Amino acid sequence: MSAARTTWRMLALAAGLALGGPGAGAQTPSPSVDAPPLTAAGAALPAVTASLSPLDLRVSVDLQGDVPVATYVSARIGTAQLVQRTPAGQWVAWDGRDETRINDQFAAFGGRLTFIVNGADFSAQKFPVAVFIGYRTAAGLKFGTFTVTAQP
């Protein structure tokens, strides 16, 4: 994807977030971001500016033929607190260990995997929230990270 197209997608996302924040009609779909493919080394994904009360994003990635056996969403709040999303959309404390990751059980469709990053109210945060999305294949973990900064 070209840099110009990526910039326009991010601007469209920001506009969608501004229009779809709290108080918007229930029919307003959650903002969606097309992210670069995830990698075993960790992909740096574009930063997002969004309402943090509550956070509600859809992040879609091209699987490039991968077959996920587990999916994960977690976040670092400030400099220390780690939380992870459960399949029910709740956020719980996480110790950061691989063996305690919770599988969100997102399903792939058409060669793409969409991560749902929602259910948390991070509005009290003074710093950007670092979000981790990832999936495990038979060959190992692929992941990416991005920051979410509160809309002014």
Write the CA distances from 49 to 2, 12, 65, 109, 113, integer angstroms.
21, 11, 30, 27, 22
Spans of all domains in the chain: 3-150
The residues, any chain, with a CB within 8 Å of residue 42's CB and separated by 6 or more, are 143, 144, 145
Which residue from 47, 44, 65 is spatially nearest to 57, judged by alpha carbons?
47
- At residue 19 the predicted structure's pLDDT band, cuts being 50, 70 and 90, is very low
| Model pLDDT, residue 31 | 65
- Please name the residue ranges forming H helices in the chain: 3-19
Of the pLDDT bands very low, low, confident and very high (cuts 50, 70, 90), residue 25 is very low
The mean-pLDDT minimum among 4-8, 59-63, 91-95 falls in: 4-8
For residues 83-95, average pLDDT:
94
The residue among 148 and 136 whose pLDDT is bigger is 136
Instruction: Select from 30, 35, 55 the least CA-distant residue to 46.
Output: 35
